[in-house]
Structure 1
Amino acid sequence: MGKLLAGCYEFIKVLDTDELGHTYLVIDIHLQEHPKCVVKQIRLPPNSSQTRQLILSRLEKTSQLLKKLGQHDQIPRFITSFAQTNQFYLVQEFIPGYPLTDELIPGDPLTENQVITLLQELLNLLVFVHQQGVILGNLKPSTIIRRQGDGKLVLTTWGVIHQLSAQIAQSFHQSAPNPRHPTSVDQSSKPFPEHLQVNGDLYALGIIAIQAMTGLSASELTELKQTNNSQHETSAWQAYTQVSPELAAILEKMVHSDRQNRYHKAASVLADLSGIPESNPITQFSLPSLPEINPAIATITFPTRQFKPQVILAAIALVGITALILAYTLHLPQRLMAQYFLHQGKTQAQQPEVAIQYYTQAIAYQPQNATAYYHRGKIYADRGKSQLALADLSQAIQLNPQNADAYYQRGNLRLELSDRLGAKADYTQVLQRDPNFTPAWVNRGQIQAELGNEKAAIDDYTQAIQLQPNLVTAYLNRCRSRSNLGNQKGAIDDCTTAINLRPHNALAYQNRGLARQRRGDIRGAITDYTVAIQLNPEAAEPYYNRGLTRQEIEDISGAIADYTQAIKRNPNYASAYYERGLAQAQLGNRLAAIKDLQQAAQLCHDLGKLDCYEAAQSQLSRVSVQ
C-alpha cells in the first residue's frame, strides 16, 4: 500500500488481516483536523472473472447499507467507498475506545444489573440494525467498542462485509475455470445468505451475556455443555453465577439449541428484560441440570448475619468436601472447578474467612488463576494481613500483568506500609495500563508531594482534574502544592473551586487560609481558618495555623490561645508547643516558655525529628540565659 490511498488517506498501521484483505488505520490529510479513519480493503477477482461485476454491485449495495447504519450515533459513520487496482475499499470513522473483550475478564464476572444494562444497550442497537434489513452475523465482544469520552457501546459493522467472503473466495477459483467443469454465476440479489437470521445475532448476544455473568469464555461454555451432556444449550452455566430466574429464562431462550425456540426480535427480548424487577432477589446458588448431585450438598450459602465460630469452621470444612463431590462426581475440568470456587468465594462477602478458603480451593485447582490471588489478596489487606496480601497481589500481577486494579491495590497497601517509592511505582504501572484511572493520578500526586517533587504532583493532580472536573480532592491537593511552589493565586483559585464544589469542606478553607497567609492577606487567612474551625471544631491544625497568623500581626495572646486549643486536641503536637513557647517568651513568661520548649524538644526527639529537636534546644538555651 502506498503512502496515500485515493490521494488523501495516509497509512498509519495495519489493524487486522483476514481472508478478504487488510484493515488499516489511516488519517485523512485533506481535512484540517486530520481525523483518523478505518479502511477495509477487499481483494477483487481479476477483470476476467465472471463474478467481478456482480461482487462490485453487491459491495456498492453493502456500502449503502453501511451508510444507513452509520446514521445511528452508536455505529461508525460511513465515509466513502472506492475501487483501486483490483481492490475495493470501504472507509468508516475511527472510534477511539477499547473492545468489550477488555471488560469480560476471565474469572471476574459482572453483576446481574451490569449484564442487564449491557443487554439493553446492545439490544436497542440491534433493533435499529434489524429494522434496516441488516444482520451483523459476527457479533462478538471484539466487534463491540466502549467509546472513549461518553462510555457508550458502539457496534462495528464489518461483519456485513464478511457475509460476502465465501462468494469472493469462490470467484478466485472461477477466474481460472476448468474447461471440463463449466462455471455458473449466482445472480441472487439477496443482501444476505439465507442461513443468516435475526435470532443468530440474538444468540451471539446471549452468549456474550452469559460470558459476562459467569466469567467463562465461549469455548469454556461449550466445553461445560459437552462435559455435562446437557440437553439444553449452556444450561450448566448457572452453576457459575448468581442469576434471577427471570434473567436466566431470557438468556436460555436467546441461546436455545433449536433456532425455532429462540427469540426472533430484539424488541421481544427488551420487553422481557423490562419485566425483571429492579430489586429482584437472587435465587440461592445451586447446580441446576446436573444429575446425581444434591444441590443442598454441593452448595454452601449463608444468610447475611453473623455465625458462631464453630459454624464457620464447619462451613470451611465443607469447602473441601464440596471440592471432592464436584471433582469426582461431575468430572469437571480443573479450570472450570476453579471458576466454580472463584464464584463461590465472591458470594461470601459477609464471611471473609470462608471466602479465603474458596479462593484457596480455586488456586489449588488452577495455580495460574490470577483473579483468585487478586481477590484473596484484597481480603487479606482488609483484615490487616499485610504480608499475605502483598504476596497474593504480587502473584496476581505476575500472572496477569495487565490488571491495573491489582497494581492499584498493591500501591495502596505499600503506601499504608510507608513504602512510598514502591507505591509510586505501582501507581505508575496502573496509569501505563489505564490512563483514565483517576485515583491513581491523585495518589501518585500525593506521594510526589511528600517526596518533595511538587511540580510532578501538580501535573498528576491536573491529569486527575481533566478526567474528573469535579474531583474536590485533586483541587485541594493541587492548591497545597501550588502554594508550596509560591503560586499563591493559583492555589487560592484551586481551593476556592473546591469550596464551591463542597462548601462545608474544612480542609479547603484551611488550605486557602495558608495560601492567603503566604500572599500577605492576613485578615483573609484568619477568616478562612476561623471558618475551618467552625466546620471542624475538633481539628488541631486550623487552630495552629490561625495562631501563626495572629502572631504575625502581634496578637500574641490570641496566638497563645490558639496554640493551647491545638495542644488540647493533639497533646503530641510538637510544633504547637514550640510556637507557644516562643510566644510566651515574647510576653516575658520565661518559665512557661521553658516548659513548652522542653516539651517540644522531648516530642521531637521521640518522633526522631532531628531538625525540630535542635531548633527547640537552641531556643531553650536562648530563653534559659535571659
Structure 2
Amino acid sequence: MVQHQADEGILGSMEQTLLGGRYQVVRRLGSGGFSRTFLVTDLHLPNHPRCVIKQLKVQDKDTGTLDMARRLFDTEARVLYQLGNHPQIPALMAHFEEDQEFYLAQEYIEGSRLNRQIEEGKPWSETRVVLLLQEVLEILSFVHRQQVIHRDIKPSNLIRRHRDGKLVLIDFGAVKQVTSSPLLDAETGATNITVAIGTHGYMPNEQYAGKPRFSSDVYAVGILGIRALTGLHPQKIEEDPVTSELDWRQYAPMVSSSLVAVLDKMVRYDFRDRYPTAQEALEALQNLPNPLHGLVGTQIYQTWMKGANGRGPTFPDEDSNTAVGPTETSEPTAFADDQDSTSLFPVGLAYGNGNGSAAGTLPLIADAHVPGFRRYPRRQSLVIGGCLGALTIGLVLWRSGLTIAFELNGAGHMIPFQMATVPSLTTDLGRLLPPEEKAAFLTRQGDRLLAKGRYPDALSTYNDAVASQSEYAAAYLGRCKALIALKRPLEAIAACDDALAYSTYYPEAVRSKGNAEEQQGKLLAALTLYEDTNRLMPAMFEAWLDRGRVLQKLGRSAEAIAAIDQAIARNRDSAEAWTVRGEATWSLERYDQAIIALEKALQLNPDYAPAKELRQKARQTLGR
C-alpha cells in the first residue's frame, strides 16, 4: 500500500512535468522493481503522437553507481537503436538523462501479449505451435545477425500487434541490468560491470553460470514451444535425473516425432548439442515433414490477425458463442507487468558471432469452428495440409494459413469432410472470417502479391480488404504502395491520407506519401514527409535513404551525404544507399570517396545499373 501510494504521488507529479522537455505523461502503464513505464504524448511532433517512456529506477545514486547506470543505459539504447530497424522490434525514439534519472522513449505498440494466449492447462495444436515458433525465430534470426543475444525470450515479451497481426519482440534488458544485482561486489569491492537478465524456466544452465550464447535464446524459444504444446509452465516440468534433459514428452504424447526431435535439440542441457543460432533452428522447423504425420484436430484453422478497433478472434475454449470478441487489453502490453518473474545474474555483455537470413513471416493461427463442417472424435481425425503433390487445394489452403480436415471411413481410407463445400479463398472468404479478420487476411495476401510484383492483383486485394473493413489502416497503406508501383501518385496520396486518418501514428504511411509526392516531382513536399518520418521513427532505414536521394536530386549534396550516412548506419548492405553516397560525393568533387562508395555498391550487387553507370563515368573522367 505504501509503495502504491508512493507511485501514485510520483505519477501525479510527473503528469505536471514534461519529461525531456517534450513528453507529456498520459498515464502509468506498469511499475516493477527495476523500472516504471508511462504512456506519453510527444508535444514536439505534429498531432502529438503517443509513445512509451521507460524510466529506470536507480536506488543508489552515488557517483560510481550513476556512472555504471549511465554506461549500461547507453548500451541498451545503442542496441535498441541498432535493432529498431526491424519492423517487429520497437523503434527507439529517444533516450535521455534528467535529474539523475534515465529514460527511454520507444515506439508505442498496441497489442496483446502472448502470455494472455498461452494459458495454463490449455495446450495448443502442433500446427499452431510450429507456426508460432517459426515467426519468433524469424525475428530472432535478425537479432542474432546483429551480434546480439536477447536473453529473455518468454511469452510476455512477445506482443501480437493489433495493427497488422504480427509478433513484436520487446525488452532487451539493459535497463533491468542496472538494478538487477549489486553494482559492487560485497567481498572485493570491485565494480560489477557485467549484468544481464533471464527468467526462471526459460533460462539454460550456461546463462545461470554467466555465459549466455546465441543457443541460450534458442533454448528459450524451445521452452516457449513446449509450454504451448503441454499447457504447462516450464517450472512444472521435471528434468531427467540421469541426463538432466527436460522430461516433457509425457505431457504431449500426440506430438509428431519430427517436431519432438527439433524441440529436444533446441532445449538440450549442453549448449553444444543445440542449434547454434536461431537461423539453424528455423531451418530445421521449415524442413519438418508435412502435418499429415501428426494428429492435430478436426477443426479448420484460420489465419489469426488483430483487426481494426482492437477486436480479435475468440478461442474455442473461451466462454463465447461469437466468432469475434474484445481483445484482452488495449494497452501497449509490451510494457505491462507479467506473471513470469525476471531474475538477474552477473554475466558478460551478450555479443557474439552469428549469421543467417530471415525468411517470410508466417501467421499465427487459431482454432475456429466453420459452418458446414461436422465435428468428429479426435482419435478418428487427421488434419493435412502443405505440399501434398497433386492435391492443389491442399497446398493453397496450407500456404494461406488453413488446413483441410479429413476422417477415416469404414474401410480405413482417408476422405475429406464434405470436401466439395470448402469455399474459395478469393470468392467466399467472408464465410470463414468476420470482417476485421478478413481485412487483415486480405491485406497480408495483398502484401505477398505486392512483393511478387503483381501490382494490379495486389491493388484489387487491398480494395477487397477496405470493402470488408473500411477503417483498417494497413489496407489503405497497401493500396497506397500498390498505386505508387502502378505510377498513379495522386490516388496513392489519397490512400495514404486514409491510412493516416485511421492510425495517427503511422510512419510507414507518412513515408509512402512522400514516395508518391516524389513520383510527381514534388521534391520539397516529399522531403518534408521524409523528415517527418525520420522524427517519428528514427530507426527506419528506408526513410533516411529516401531523404538522401531527394536531397541529392535537389543539389544539396552535403545534406544528402549526412542523410545517407544515417541510412548506411542502419543498413550497410544497401547498394542503392552506397550509390547515392557515391553520386553525392562525386558532386562535391570528393572523387576518392565516390569511387569507394560505388565499388561498395557493386560488391553488394554487381548488376545494380545506377552504380555501374556512375562507376563507368568515373573511370572515363579520372582515367582509372
Q: Which bracket does the TM-score occupy, shorter chain normalised?
A: 0.3 to 0.5
More helix by share: 1
Which of the pair has the greater relative contact order for Cα pairs under 8 Å at 6+ separation?
Answer: 2
More strand by share: 2
- The structure with the largest alpha-carbon Rg is 1
